[in-house]
Amino acid sequence: MKKRYLTILLFLIMPFFSFSQDGKLEEAKQSLNTTKTSSSGGTTTKSTKTSSKKEKNSDSFSLGAEIGRLFLKFFLFVTYEVMIESEFEYEGRMRSAEISAYPYKNANYGNFIYTDSTNYSIARLDVSNNFVVENKNLYGNHLNLNFRFFKRMSVEASYLQLYEKLGNRRESFSLFSAMLNYHRVRTQKLDLWFGVGAMYVGKDVEKMGFSYGFGTEWFVTKPVSLLFSYNASKINTRNVIKSKIQMKYYINKYHISSGYEHYTLGVSKINTFSVGVGVSF
């Protein structure tokens, strides 16, 4: 009798045991294929319309429109001053900062240089590749390309491929992203940017979403810098986020990097150690 009850109990808990074996990558893909819904709680709200006089004084209407135009102009002015360039920067050195041939070619500068010499470049391509690992079963590779041009613009493309071992099988997850970045702060020690673009989740999801991001790299002292970046998107109303904090060690045109990378992939959160190499052309 006891043996029969034990068999029935094992039969009942088997489905839950199997479900618990789903890995983070599999759960991520399942959640990104499902649209998040929110219930209204069954309550309905009635909007009451109050009658209002349609006759308005033309003078007061004109005054309101003028105030609206002034407010819009003020908003656009402040946005431009904060996000693009303030009038106080017109005569500053940052306005004409050039792209350096590579970081720490000279101990005084990182990604940007204040000079008319031949040390700067019209454009530059940075390529880096990092191995990321959360544990012995979950690991991957993160390839990043960053093309800088027009002194303050860049196009950044990255490809993240993650793998997870689940018993005798292996799950994978791929994420592509492309960003157009504007480098807002361009000093010899600090590079700060923000941008917009798109993210695309590959195999088993195959969906794309609008993305935004920002980042900064602080050139502490030759040959070391600290980098932080954040990119976010929505796929089927679910968050897709990747962020990283890295320390870089520069050796001429090359660098070695190590740090922490975090990924939010739908319902799954993955925290990895990162190590890699890069080069500037």
Whether residue 139 is found in the same domain as residue 185: yes
Whether residue 109 is found in the same domain as residue 240: yes
- Does residue 29 fall inside a structural domain? no
Provide the 3-class DSSP secondary structure of residue 6: helix
- Entry pTM: 0.81
pLDDT at 63 over 80: no
Whether residue 80 is found in the same domain as residue 113: no
Q: What pLDDT is recorded for position 119?
A: 74
Contact 4, 177 (CB under 8 A): no
pLDDT band at 44 (very low <50, low <70, confident <90, very high): very low
pLDDT band at 85 (very low <50, low <70, confident <90, very high): confident
Q: What pLDDT is recorded for position 59?
A: 60
Whether residue 70 is found in the same domain as residue 209: no
Q: Containing domain of residue 157, as a range? A: 95-280
Q: Cis before residue 103, ω within 30 degrees of 0? A: no
The pLDDT tens digits of the residues spanning 7-22 come to 544 444 444 333 335 6
pLDDT band at 70 (very low <50, low <70, confident <90, very high): confident
Whether residue 129 is found in the same domain as residue 246: yes
The residue assigned the tokens 């600290």 is: 226
Count of structural domains, the chain: 2
Whether residue 213 is found in the same domain as residue 273: yes
Whether residue 157 is found in the same domain as residue 79: no
Q: What is the CATH number of the domain that holds 155?
A: 2.40.160.40
Whether residue 197 is found in the same domain as residue 164: yes
Find all residues with CB under 8 Å of 166, minimum gap 6, and list them. Answer: 21, 22, 23, 26, 137
Q: What is the dihedral angle through the alpha carbons of 82, 84, 89, 90, rounded to the nearest 10 degrees?
A: -140
Helix (H) / strand (E) element for 70: namely helix 58-83
Question: CB burial class (10 A; 0-12, 13-18, 19+) of residue 247?
Answer: middle
